[in-house]
Amino acid sequence: MIGHKQKMVDNNQIGDSSEQVIRTVELSKTYPQMDVPAVDKLNLEVGKGEIFGLLGPNGAGKTTTAGMLTTRVIPTAGQAFIGGINVRKHPTLVKQLIGVVSQQNTLDRSLTVRENLYYHGLLFGMGVKESARVADELLEKFHLGSWGKKSVFALSGGMAQRLMVARAIFHSPAVLFMDEPTAGLDPQSRLALWEILQGLNSEGQTILLTTHYMEEADQLCNRVAIMDHGQILALDSPVNLKKSIGADAILTVRVEGDPLGLIEVLKLSIDGVSASREIEGGVEIQVSETEKLLPRVINLAESNGISILDISLAETTLETVFINLTGKELRD
Ligand SMILES: Nc1ncnc2c1ncn2[C@@H]1O[C@H](COP(=O)(O)OP(=O)(O)OP(=O)(O)O)[C@@H](O)[C@H]1O
Ligand SMILES: [Mg+2]
């Protein structure tokens, strides 16, 4: 099936010659009656075998971007290519090259678990035998082997999602799209899904996921595009994005009374403070010198008559990168 699909793309002269699985050129969407674009001149390239993350807060334009790449949302400007094929011009062809897991449960409730896979195969032009074989193979692979004959109503949220992933990759798509894959999942199901996605990726599956969980982007993705207001603010590997901050750690101090005095004291007395901001009841400071930092801060506060309620030191995260870029938190 893969060979067949790849050949279809290679032989097709209707696309561009890009090696990238996903490519966008100034891709934009402004919804009717909206003054500002939901996606604004996006230029993006995702290579074969990558897990690529679109990370951003609510309304950043993640779903709209994924929607345009998966033929569901019609762009108002620019172009998108999947496997070199122009999405706008050849949506039917592109649909065969992609697998999509949306945020909603889109399983067919009138079918059994196994039938949800089997009929998907038939729909994508696979033969009866091949479709049955792949259905059984994927049920095993996704730990749903004993659930094949059951109604999809019997599945837990995590299981239903595994079935949707199995269905999305059934026809060996060139790229798997997942919109907020772990939103609403319990921590255990979230880890289980990460493992599944890593497993698929290690077999060569290209994946584009959207998320507003920085840990998810950090743990799972080879490269991450940080998005806000329909634009990419930064794009790199999680490690490089975090390095770009120029700080090794985040010091958080909560104090009694006004925290602003403490910011001044710390900036004056501690080396390597690269940024600071006020948070509820305290301050957050980005630092690159962490040796004996906590006792030094406590002493400094004491000698300046500031009472510390709580103090902690944590590694920088993609959230820190986002805050530096936008001045706000991912979950604001
Ligand atoms: N169908 C629509 N009609 C009008 N405006 C829309 C539509 N879909 C999205 N928008 C608007 O476009 C902007 C981007 O929305 P989008 O859903 O792409 O963001 P998102 O990053 O996926 O956010 P979320 O984290 O909430 O899923 C938002 O301002 C949203 O209100
Ligand atoms: Mg969304």
User: 182 and 212 in contact (C-beta within 8 Å)?
Assistant: no
Q: Which of 32-46, 162-176, 316-330 has the lowest mean pLDDT?
A: 316-330
Per-residue model confidence as pLDDT tens digits over 261-280: 888 888 888 888 888 888 88
pLDDT bracket for residue 8 (50, 70, 90) = very low
For residue 64 and ligand 1, the question of a CB distance below 6 A is answered with: yes
* Stretch 99-127: mean pLDDT: 95
Mean pLDDT of the chain: 91
Domain with residues 246-315, CATH architecture: 2-Layer Sandwich (3.30)
Q: Could you tell me which residue, 37 or 189, shows the higher pLDDT? A: 37
Which part of the chain has CATH 3.30.70.260? 246-315
56 alpha carbon – ligand 2 mean position (Å): 9
Tell me which fold the domain 2-107+155-242 belongs to: Rossmann fold (3.40.50)
* Stretch 222-243: mean pLDDT: 96
Helical H runs in the chain?
2-10, 62-69, 91-97, 113-123, 128-141, 157-169, 187-202, 214-220, 238-243, 260-269, 293-303, 318-326
* Stretch 20-32: mean pLDDT: 97
62 alpha carbon – ligand 1 mean position (Å): 8
- Ligand 1 atom having least distance to the Cα of 66: 18
- Ligand 1 atom having least distance to the Cα of 63: 22
Phi, psi (degrees; rounded to nearest 5) at 325: -80, -35
Tokens linked to 4: 């067949």
pLDDT bracket for residue 186 (50, 70, 90) = confident
DSSP state of 32: T
CA distance 332 to 330: 6
3-class DSSP assignment, residue 31:
coil
* 128-141 helix and 113-123 helix, angle to the nearest 10 degrees: 140
Which part of the chain has CATH 3.40.50.300? 2-107+155-242
Burial class (CB in 10 A: 0-12, 13-18, 19+), 65: buried
- pTM listed for this prediction: 0.88
CA distance 63 to 204: 24
312 alpha carbon – ligand 1 mean position (Å): 36
Q: What is the pLDDT of residue 44?
A: 97
For residue 212 and ligand 1, the question of a CB distance below 6 A is answered with: yes
Q: What is the pLDDT of residue 12?
A: 41
> Backbone dihedral region of 119: left (phi > 0), alpha (psi from -120 to 50 degrees) or beta?
alpha
Please determine, for residue 16, whether its predicted confidence score (pLDDT) is greater than 80: no
3-class DSSP assignment, residue 232:
strand
User: 249 and 287 in contact (C-beta within 8 Å)?
Assistant: yes
Q: Could you tell me which residue, 113 or 291, shows the higher pLDDT? A: 113
* Residue labelled with tokens 């997942």: 178
Tokens linked to 298: 């406590």
CA distance 271 to 251: 13
Nearest alpha carbon, ligand 1 atom 4 = 31
Q: Which of 6-20, 51-65, 154-168, 315-329 has the lowest mean pLDDT?
A: 6-20
- Ligand 1 atom having least distance to the Cα of 33: 4
Helical H runs in 32-112?
62-69, 91-97
Kindly report the length of the chain: 332
* 128-141 helix and 157-169 helix, angle to the nearest 10 degrees: 140
In angstroms, the Cα distances linking 196 to 4, 161, 167 are: 25, 11, 13
